[in-house]
Homo-oligomer: A and B are copies of this chain.
Amino acid sequence: MTMRVTAYDVAERAGVTQPTVSRALSGSPLVSDATRERVVKAAQELGYVINLNATRLRSGRTQVLAVVLIGREGERPTATNPFYFSLLGAIGAAAAEREYDLLVSFQHSADNFYADYQDARQADGMIVIGTTRNDEAWQYFRSRDHEGKAWVCWGAPDDDLRWVRSDNERGGQLAADYLYNQGRRKPVFVGSLEPGQRQFTERYEGFAEAWRKLGVEPHLVETDPALAREEQGARAIDALLSEGKDFDGLFAASDLIALGALDGLAKAGIAVPDAVSVVGFDGIRTGAYSSPPLTTIESDFDLAGRMLVKNVLGRIEGEPPESRRVPVHLVVRGS
């Protein structure tokens, strides 16, 4: 077990002092080219790797962003909504562009809530994403949102917290337009409009508003947000059929709900898209393989990741405030 190589070892080999090594390797303009070269060479020869804990302790900065994925209570992290996983990927890419690492944690119940990343100097900021259904979780995070905390949410249940989200109203409009252009005139919206489901409400409003302009009031099937999303979709179909409601176009508040609806329609023998057109929201990969493939409203994931990162970093580095609405577009597949 050889001793760890420190900046002192490098300094000795390069014939300079340790602080000079620090400057040389961190790219300080104060170091002469010749010196830097010698230092870099010495560092390479010794296989020197900087100890980031020392750097962080001294500088007070970590170059780390914490990402918290809030799940439903009792849900295993493996079952995390694929949309959030994709978002995580996008955040990772955006963070890497700005030389930040990601500290990821899956939180779902009071015994593992944790938000002290900044105080503990583990991260410079935090991005919270995940289901709005976990009231306890959001209550917890809301209580920790003090002055000086750099964080941003995706999918926050209300506007207390600083957020970035999809341009949901626009998405609703796009869905309405699509259904209208498909010749549909009896539209239904499936989803929960609970106050906590801010994003869903926005989608509904964009959808309803667009239809009203066309002289149609869309039918609303409110679902129980406590249920699994797929289940919500399936039950909505049951409800529609049992009350004998006539409909030919369906917009679901999320892809998972739409997939459940697709299932329900198939079981009831209703052809999609012949009898009913279906549009989801999220653009999850799974939708591409459903039967028929799900037409959906998709947010630009990469952009969403970049906006989230930019917003936290804005709070950290005092950058100018950034746009908070992620543009959406229609993805026409088979439904």
- Interface locus among A34-42, A99-107, A192-200, A315-323: A99-107
Is A275 interfacial (CB 8 A cutoff)?
A: no
Is A1 interfacial (CB 8 A cutoff)?
A: yes
Question: In the complex, what residue of chain B is closest to A291 when comparing beta carbons?
Answer: B291
Q: Quick one: which of A252-270 are within 8 Å of B by CB? A: 259, 262-263
A122 to B163, CA, bound (A): 29
Question: In the complex, what residue of chain B is closest to A301 when comparing beta carbons?
Answer: B78
Q: Is the CB of B77 within 8 A of A121?
A: no
How close is A170's CB to chain B, nearest CB, in angstroms?
A: 21
Is A302 interfacial (CB 8 A cutoff)?
A: yes
How close is A55's CB to chain B, nearest CB, in angstroms?
A: 8
Q: Is the CB of A89 within 8 A of B106?
A: yes
Is A28 interfacial (CB 8 A cutoff)?
A: no
Q: Is the CB of B286 within 8 A of A49?
A: no
Q: Quick one: which of A185-210 are within 8 Å of B by CB? A: none
Is A85 interfacial (CB 8 A cutoff)?
A: yes
Is A62 interfacial (CB 8 A cutoff)?
A: yes
Question: In the complex, what residue of chain B is closest to A304 when comparing beta carbons?
Answer: B78
Contact of A49 among B50, B76, B96, B119 (CB under 8 A): B119
A90 to B67, CA, bound (A): 16
Q: Is the CB of A49 within 8 A of B79?
A: no
Q: Is the CB of A104 within 8 A of B102?
A: yes
Contact of A92 among B1, B106, B285 (CB under 8 A): B106
Q: Is the CB of B93 within 8 A of A52?
A: no
How many identical subunits does the complex contain? Answer: 2
> Which residues of chain B come closer than 8 Å to A80, judged between CB atoms?
85-86, 89
Q: Quick one: which of A60-95 are within 8 Å of B by CB? A: 62, 64, 67, 76-80, 82, 85-90, 92-93
How close is A291's CB to chain B, nearest CB, in angstroms?
A: 3
Is A51 interfacial (CB 8 A cutoff)?
A: yes
> Which residues of chain B come closer than 8 Å to A301, judged between CB atoms?
76, 78
With A96-B106, A103-B102 as known contacts, state yes or no: A82 contacts B285, CB within 8 Å: yes
User: What 0/1 pattern do residues 119 to 137 of A give for CB contact below 8 A with B?
Assistant: 1111000000000000000
A selection of 11 A-B contacts at a CB cut-off of 8 Å is A1-B148, A49-B119, A76-B93, A76-B301, A78-B301, A78-B302, A82-B285, A92-B104, A96-B112, A263-B289, A287-B289
Contacts beyond the supplied A53-B57, A76-B93, A92-B106: 19 A-B pairs with Cβ under 8 Å: A53-B62, A67-B104, A76-B302, A77-B90, A77-B93, A78-B90, A78-B93, A78-B301, A85-B88, A85-B89, A89-B106, A92-B104, A101-B105, A101-B122, A103-B104, A286-B289, A289-B289, A289-B291, A290-B290
